[in-house]
Amino acid sequence: MNLKTIKAIGLTALFVVLSEGVFAQSGPVLLLSKKEAAAINSHLKDYKLMGKSFGKIKRTADKALEKKIEVPIPSDNGGGYTHEKHKQNYRELYNAGLAYQVTGERKYADFVEKMLLEYAKVYPGLPLHPMRKQEQNSGKLFWQGLNDCVWLVHGIQAYDLVRENISAGNRTIIERDVFRSMAAFLSESDSGKDTFNKIHNHGTWAVAGEGMTGYVLGDKDMVDRALYGSAKDKKTGFLKQIEQLFSPDGYYSEGPYYQRYALQPFMVFAEAINRNQPELKIFDYRGQVLKKAVNTVLQLTDSKGYFFPINDALKEKNFMTEELVFATNIAYENYNDPAILPVISQQNEVTVSGAGLKAAEAIQQAGKLDYIKNPMVIADGPEGKSGGLSLFRMPTKNKDEQLTAVFKYASQGMGHGHFDRLGILLYNNDKEILQDYGAARFLNVESKSGGRYLDENKTWAQQSVAHNTVIVDEESHYKGDWKAAEKQNPELQFSDISNPETLQITSAVERNAYPGVLMQRTVAMIGAETPFILDIFTLRSDKAHQYDLNFMYSGHIMETAFKYDPAVATLTPMGKTNGYEHLWKLAEGRANVGVSKFTWLNDSRFYTISTMTDANTKLFMTRLGAADPNFNLRNESGYMVRVGDRKDYTFVSVIEPHGSFDPKLESVQDPHSKVANISLLQQDASYTAVRVTFTNKETYTLLFANAATAPNTTHKLSIEGKKYEWKGNYTVIKK
């Protein structure tokens, strides 16, 4: 331990003498009171969800008691033995603490005491973790400081649950050599202070651990530092994180995957604050933004609750995770929002806490619960002025089928952000139709770069060509520099979801991804016999460029309405850098003059991208896997529409689900696209007009002003001798 850490511990110990008793209370002070524990014990048979959840906790605790306590010297990467053992230890500590409070059986408290005394022997003398990475703040128990913060959040809750049953002498040892030592390291050491004051999910875990420790130990200085930053000047700390990391709509800048992860410390620490300092009214802070954060992250999921894999995200995560069990329970306890109950019911477990008790009682008394996924326009940025996300959702004529489109025109999302300005995703229920790779990582699999992010996360997953957007001159947005991208945001021009069964539309502009190139994408989900997506992507520049419109699709190619030359004998990469080096060129197509179509099958549905093309348009079919000697990447498929040597250009595409395939019945219906023609009627600096004609002669004409206008503004256009007039940003004419 370095001298600075020792001094920090000494100062903290001195301060606690001066502030003893400021927060100190008898019994647990964080998430579960004695009264609540007794109520849980008496209702284990009445509230089935609580009985099931506590049974799981108790079984884990009982199993832990059967084994010898082991606190190994840290030596491994994520996924290695010592890494996983310290994770297991904090979970066993927490579960045993809960088992003690609910049952009153002393053996569980003794287990917590003994394990913490073992940590007290080891922790103060631990050096920085031997497998730390130079570019990240190191922990002592784990290779990154974040995991030490997570240990502290769980460990202090366990101690809180049994503290009153530990002798004064052992409390002194545990508090000095475990909790004060760890809190000082994570907030005052050279390795920890930067993270503690960072507006980032790592910082949230750090301040939550410190603040909760302060409440348990009765240390006002710890609590104030957690709330207001290490200098207590309110420039950092928990309140500043709530202000900076969430938009007014509750969107978290790093995306829903990390919003899920960060919500546990946000909600758990908020619960501790509310119980110890109710005068802060933490759950009302910023217009109840924590409530909005929980609701928003739940909406940012597919029909089975899996998060849309925006930015660095693992697709396996859904709202059944531990973090969101805590978040939904605490949100329901403090906001009494019945809209959350269907999710709690699907989670099929509750936390063993006061919040979990209230949630379990509500579920027991509720009838059938359905969680409603709504179309939404979600603002990004602390002031709601940093772009955002549009979620389009529309049912089809098929039973229980919903088409969902995600249009991302949000901020970068810090270091976990991807270079996917104006990107889209498309889902049919839980099926990815146009997909996002998410993160290139095998979390905690030691053989894959120690469970960390793979090199391919930077060379592929974060690159623009890994997404459903336009790439200029084979260069990623902002040249792949997230710090440069963090300074600029797309601009929402207009959006309307007021008539969701008929039309949902958003138009956004990106002005800075490429010097001298303006990018505008307008995405509309249009209600028809089968809903379809009308996608209009305009590029404007004073200089000629190559523009690649990329679609990463999921499924199997069925047919193309254009000729192509397949790479039968030899595969070559699409390029040399910026992610292109990872794409094999499977085929190169010759575009039609008019409309080129690409059809694939996903599960039981056919999908076609119909794009307006000319004789100079190039079409490519690609597959991921090139330049991947360690087989780190999934073999996913892409379809790219390329135009070269253009200054101004507009891609117009229709993305259309159609037909069905039933291999059991050997039945195929409507396997071919129903788009007959696509016309760009007008495109200038002020207006865009597009017409789509289907084989049944139905036409849809979309006209819109490229810049945002007031709702009562009148627009007039004359196209091919016909006059059009409308008010507001856009109009759609169906014939």
Q: What is the mean pLDDT of residues 369-381?
A: 95
Q: What is the pLDDT of residues 75-93, one digit of tens each?
A: 998 889 999 999 999 999 9
Is the pTM higher than 0.95?
no
The phi, psi pair for 710, rounded to 5°, reads: -70, 150
Same-domain status, 90 and 233: yes
Which of 243, 264, 283 is a domain's end point? Answer: 243
Residue 48 domain-assigned? no
The contacts of residue 726 (CB under 8 Å, 6+ apart) are 703, 714, 715
Q: What is the mean pLDDT of residues 368-386?
A: 94
Q: What is the pLDDT of residues 318-338, one digit of tens each?
A: 999 999 999 999 999 999 999
Q: What is the pLDDT of residues 559-586, one digit of tens each?
A: 999 999 999 999 999 999 999 999 999 9
According to DSSP, the residues that pair with 351 across neighbouring strands are: none
Q: What is the pLDDT of residues 496-529, one digit of tens each?
A: 999 999 999 999 999 999 999 999 999 999 999 8
What is the C-alpha separation between 132 and 364, in angstroms, rounded? 47
Instruction: Provide the pLDDT confidence category of residue 53 given band limits of 50, 70 and 90.
Output: very high
What is the C-alpha separation between 477 and 468, in angstroms, rounded? 13
The phi, psi pair for 588, rounded to 5°, reads: -125, 125
Coil vs helix vs strand at 86? helix
Summary mean pLDDT of the chain: 94
Provide the CATH number for the domain around residue 692: 2.70.98.70
β pairing state of 637-646 and 594-602: unpaired
Residue 29 domain-assigned? no
Tell whether the model's pLDDT for residue 10 goes beyond 50: no
Instruction: Provide the pLDDT confidence category of residue 192 given band limits of 50, 70 and 90.
Output: confident
What is the C-alpha separation between 693 and 534, in angstroms, rounded? 12
Question: Hey, what are 390's tokens?
Answer: 């549009």
Q: What is the pLDDT of residues 642-664, one digit of tens each?
A: 999 999 999 999 999 999 999 99
The phi, psi pair for 615, rounded to 5°, reads: -65, -20
The contacts of residue 155 (CB under 8 Å, 6+ apart) are 90, 93, 94, 116, 119, 178, 179, 182
Closest CA to 263 of 345, 187, 322: 322
What is the C-alpha separation between 248 and 252, in angstroms, rounded? 10
What is the C-alpha separation between 90 and 157, in angstroms, rounded? 10
Residue 284 domain-assigned? no
The amino acid sitting at 225 is: R
Provide the CATH number for the domain around residue 93: 1.50.10.100
With left for phi above 0 and alpha for psi between -120 and 50, is residue 609 left, alpha or beta?
Answer: beta
Residue 318 domain-assigned? no
Q: Are 90 and 149 in contact, with CB atoms under 8 Å apart?
A: no
Which of 243, 266, 299 is a domain's end point? Answer: 243
What is the C-alpha separation between 102 and 54, in angstroms, rounded? 9
**Per-residue pLDDT, 408:** 98
**Per-residue pLDDT, 23:** 55
Instruction: Provide the pLDDT confidence category of residue 27 given band limits of 50, 70 and 90.
Output: confident
Residue 470 domain-assigned? yes
**Per-residue pLDDT, 3:** 35
SS (H, E, C) 193-206: HHHHCCCCHHHHHH
What is the C-alpha separation between 625 and 636, in angstroms, rounded? 8
* Cα torsion through 548, 552, 553, 557, rounded to 10: 60
β pairing state of 532-541 and 545-553: unpaired
Q: What is the mean pLDDT of residues 465-477?
A: 98
Instruction: Provide the pLDDT confidence category of residue 190 given band limits of 50, 70 and 90.
Output: confident
Q: Are 252 and 258 in contact, with CB atoms under 8 Å apart?
A: yes
Q: Are 461 and 90 in contact, with CB atoms under 8 Å apart?
A: no
What domain range is 643 assigned to?
Answer: 376-734
What is the C-alpha separation between 465 and 478, in angstroms, rounded? 13
Tell whether the model's pLDDT for residue 169 goes beyond 60: yes
What Å distances lie between residue 160 and 153, 287, 703, CA to CA?
11, 31, 62
- DSSP result, 449-512: GGGSB-HHIIIIITSGGGSSSEEETTB-GGGG-HHHHHT---EEEEEEEEETTTEEEEEEEEEE
Q: What is the pLDDT of residues 342-364, one digit of tens each?
A: 999 999 999 999 999 999 999 99
The amino acid sitting at 491 is: E
Tell whether the model's pLDDT for residue 278 goes beyond 50: yes
The phi, psi pair for 50, rounded to 5°, reads: -70, -40
Residue 259 domain-assigned? no
Residue 264 domain-assigned? no
Q: How many domains does the chain have?
A: 2
Active site residues: 258, 416
Q: What is the DSSP letter of 373?
A: P
**Per-residue pLDDT, 369:** 86
Which of 185, 219, 243 is a domain's end point? Answer: 243
Tell whether the model's pLDDT for residue 22 goes beyond 60: no
Sort 618 into a burial class: Cβ within 10 Å, 0-12 / 13-18 / 19+: middle
Residue 270 domain-assigned? no
Q: What is the pLDDT of residues 615-636, one digit of tens each?
A: 999 999 999 999 999 999 999 9
Cα 55 to the chain's mean position, in Å? 31
Question: Hey, what are 301's tokens?
Answer: 């999921």
Q: What is the mean pLDDT of residues 684-689?
A: 95
What is the C-alpha separation between 589 and 563, in angstroms, rounded? 6
Instruction: Provide the pLDDT confidence category of residue 133 given band limits of 50, 70 and 90.
Output: confident
**Per-residue pLDDT, 306:** 97
Question: Hey, what are 416's tokens?
Answer: 């976990």
Locate tokens 């000697």: which residue?
Answer: 629
* Cα torsion through 414, 420, 425, 430, rounded to 10: -40
**Per-residue pLDDT, 399:** 86
Task: Express as a percent the part of the chain with pLDDT over 70.
Answer: 97
Q: What is the pLDDT of residues 493-502, one digit of tens each?
A: 999 999 999 9
